[in-house]
């Protein structure tokens, strides 16, 4: 199977287009990458909030101190 990229056109309403851009941004992906993942059967997942990473780092620090 060729790895050559093929341009695909898609007709969306303005609302659908905005939703697509929003969902791609929530996942930290471009619209193209978001659509590629959907086509490959790999549903994109939203990026964790910055607070998640702060909390995770705090848990790591507590774990290191306890050991």
Question: For residue range 6-49, what is the model confidence (pLDDT) as tens digits?
Answer: 898 999 999 999 999 999 999 999 999 999 999 999 988 887 77
Tell me the whole-structure pTM to 2 decimals: 0.66
pLDDT value for 67: 61
Please, what's the largest Cα pairwise distance for the chain?
57
Q: Which pLDDT band, with edges at 50, 70 and 90, does 66 fall under?
A: low
Residue 66's Cβ-side half-sphere holds a number of Cα atoms within 13 Å equal to: 6
Residue 60's Cβ-side half-sphere holds a number of Cα atoms within 13 Å equal to: 6
Q: Which pLDDT band, with edges at 50, 70 and 90, does 64 fall under?
A: confident
What tokens were used for 33? 């990458």
Task: State the sign of the Cα–Cα–Cα–Cα dihedral 32, 34, 39, 40.
Answer: positive
């Amino acid at each position: 199977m060729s790895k050559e990229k093929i341009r695909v056109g898609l007709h969306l309403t303005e609302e659908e287009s905005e939703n697509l851009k929003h969902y791609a941004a929530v996942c930290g992906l471009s619209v193209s990458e978001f659509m590629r993942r959907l086509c490959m059967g790999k549903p994109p997942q939203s990026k964790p909030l910055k607070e998640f990473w702060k909390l995770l780092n705090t848990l790591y620090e507590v774990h290191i101190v306890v050991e």
